[in-house]
């Protein structure tokens, strides 16, 4: 269990984290989603005892990180895959971790195999690793002490599609065995696939949280026709209000069946007709991303 209560972090006069409260429960993957600069890393660093909070508290399994004896065996943390000493080999990093935690050396081999780092790769220096290999090593390091809680900041960065698929399977299985996972990402679709619970953060504040089912469920219908004007007109004529969704489609409060009937009666050919699931969350996320982009002076700094 991870418990964050009224957490704030101020840098100078700037509130990077603003009164953040949430829980992560065992047996679930909690997705921590927000655009770059939203405050995810700062929150995770505070939970992992690397940054002091300005106010509020963060506990892991009921205690502050600093008060956990042999923390690596309780909480696995991957915050910055590139933060390892570049001159060490992957195997050395895991070996040192095993010594510090008092683990048998066989655990190093097990973890290397788990993350598919070959014996040859494990003997290469980290400066020669790709970002994906560093992420794999970071995951191996986080899991080394067989902790019950995992905190991973953007672990999918740099992983190829097969790597992302592998990681999802690993985290699913970990949570199914009763583990607690807090996983951050700046990409909605990346986290939507794996998370059971979602926490949406923007400008340091939690803007939405709940189970994935709750957040993705929105009433209404998404409809798209080759003739966008004709379907809008047909819906209006039938007394149904609709709003453009920005990608050539329309969103309406009516059911797909009602929309389908109107389209058929008006002779409008449809390209898409489906429940507007996730639309609310996506909209909220795009709004947050838009805000962040407006705040940055360089557009490329806003979203990777
Ligand atoms: P995220 O992980 O969501 O991308 P961060 O937690 O890294 O966001 O950053 C949140 C905000 O806090 C950003 O505006 C960032 O520039 C700022 N920030 C983070 N660390 C520091 C620091 N050490 N000093 C000053 N500002 C910081």
In a structure prediction context, what are the per-residue pLDDT tens digits for the chain, which is 304 residues long? 999 999 999 999 899 999 999 999 999 999 999 988 999 999 999 999 999 999 999 999 899 998 988 888 899 999 986 777 888 999 999 999 999 999 999 999 999 999 999 999 999 999 999 999 999 999 999 999 999 999 999 999 888 898 999 999 999 999 999 999 999 999 888 888 899 999 999 999 998 888 887 777 666 888 999 999 999 999 999 999 888 877 788 988 888 999 999 999 999 999 999 887 666 677 777 777 666 554 543 444 334 3
Q: Do residue 201 and residue 259 come from a single domain?
A: no
Return the CATH number at 231: 3.30.70
Q: Is residue 304 part of a domain?
A: no
Q: Cβ(191) to ligand 1 under 6 A?
A: no
Number of domains in the chain: 2
Same domain assignment for residues 6 and 150: yes
**Are 116 and 203 found together in one domain?**
yes
Query: 229 and 168, same structural domain?
Result: no
Report whether residue 274 contacts ligand 1, using a CB cutoff of 6 Å. Answer: no
Q: Whose CA is nearest to atom 27 of ligand 1?
A: 11
* Residue at 99 is within a domain: yes
In-domain check, residue 255: yes
**What's the pLDDT at 85?**
84
Domain that holds residue 38: 2-209
292 occurs within a structural domain: no
248 and 115 share one domain: no
Q: What does the pLDDT read at residue 137?
A: 94
pLDDT of res. 63: 92
Strands 2-11 and 14-24: antiparallel
Sign of the Cα pseudo-torsion (93, 94, 95, 98, in order) = positive
Could you give the CA distance from residue 251 to residue 245 in angstroms, rounded to a whole number? Answer: 6
Domain boundary among 152, 174, 209: 209
Residues in the chain: 304
Which pLDDT does position 301 carry in this prediction? 38
Same domain, 240 and 272: yes
| Measured distance CA(138)–CA(140) in Å, rounded | 5
**pTM for the whole structure:** 0.80
Q: Provide, for the chain, the percentages of residues in helix, strand and coil under a 3-state DSSP scheme, each rounded to the nearest 5.
A: 40, 25, 30
Same domain flag for 247 and 112 = no
* Distance of CA 203 from the midpoint of ligand 1 (Å): 10
Q: What is the pLDDT of residue 280?
A: 67
Nearest CA to ligand 1 atom 23: 11
Residues 200, 227 within the same domain: no
Determine which residue's CA is closest to atom 7 belonging to ligand 1.
41
Atom 16, ligand 1: residue with shortest CA distance: 37
236 lies in some domain: yes
Cα gap 139→215, rounded to integer Å: 28
Say yes or no: 82 and 159 in one domain. Answer: yes
Instruction: Assess whether 200 and 229 both reside in one domain.
Output: no
* Shared domain check, 192 and 62: yes
CATH number for 34 = 3.40.50.300
Answer whether residue 285 is part of any domain. no
Residue 17 in any domain: the answer is yes
- Give domain status of residue 176, yes or no: yes
CA 201–ligand 1 middle distance (angstroms): 13
Angstrom distance (rounded) from CA 90 to CA 169 = 23
List all residues 6 or more positions away from 77 whose beta carbon is below 8 Å from its beta carbon: 48, 142, 150, 151, 152
Q: State whether 52 and 144 are in the same domain.
A: yes
């Amino acid at each position: 269990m991870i418990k964050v209560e009224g957490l704030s972090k101020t840098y100078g006069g700037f509130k990077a984290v603003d009164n953040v409260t949430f829980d992560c429960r065992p047996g679930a993957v909690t997705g921590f989603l927000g655009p770059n600069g939203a405050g995810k890393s700062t929150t995770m660093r505070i939970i992992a005892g690397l940054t002091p909070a300005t106010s509020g508290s963060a506990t892991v399994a009921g205690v502050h990180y600093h008060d956990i004896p042999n923390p690596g065996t309780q909480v696995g943390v991957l915050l910055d895959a590139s933060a390892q000493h570049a001159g060490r080999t992957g195997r050395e990093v895991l070996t040192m971790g095993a010594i510090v935690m008092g683990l048998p050396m066989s655990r190093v081999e097990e973890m290397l195999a788990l993350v598919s780092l070959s014996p040859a790769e494990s003997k290469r220096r980290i400066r020669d690793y790709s970002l994906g290999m560093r992420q794999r090593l970071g995951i191996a390091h986080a899991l080394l002490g067989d902790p019950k809680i995992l905190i991973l900041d953007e672990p999918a960065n740099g992983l190829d599609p097969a790597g992302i698929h592998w990681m999802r399977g690993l985290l699913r299985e970990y949570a199914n065995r009763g583990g607690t996972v807090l996983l951050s990402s700046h990409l909605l679709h990346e986290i939507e696939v794996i998370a059971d619970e979602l926490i949406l953060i923007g400008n340091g504040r939690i803007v939405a949280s709940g189970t994935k089912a709750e957040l993705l469920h929105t009433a209404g219908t998404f409809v798209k026709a080759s003739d966008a004007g004709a379907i809008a007109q047909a819906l209006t004529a039938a007394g149904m209000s609709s709003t453009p969704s920005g990608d050539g489609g329309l969103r309406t409060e009516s059911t797909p069946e009602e929309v389908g009937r109107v389209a058929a009666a008006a002779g409008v050919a449809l390209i898409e007709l489906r429940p507007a699931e996730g639309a609310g969350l996506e909209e909220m996320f795009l709004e947050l991303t838009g805000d962040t982009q407006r705040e940055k002076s360089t557009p490329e700094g806003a979203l990777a």
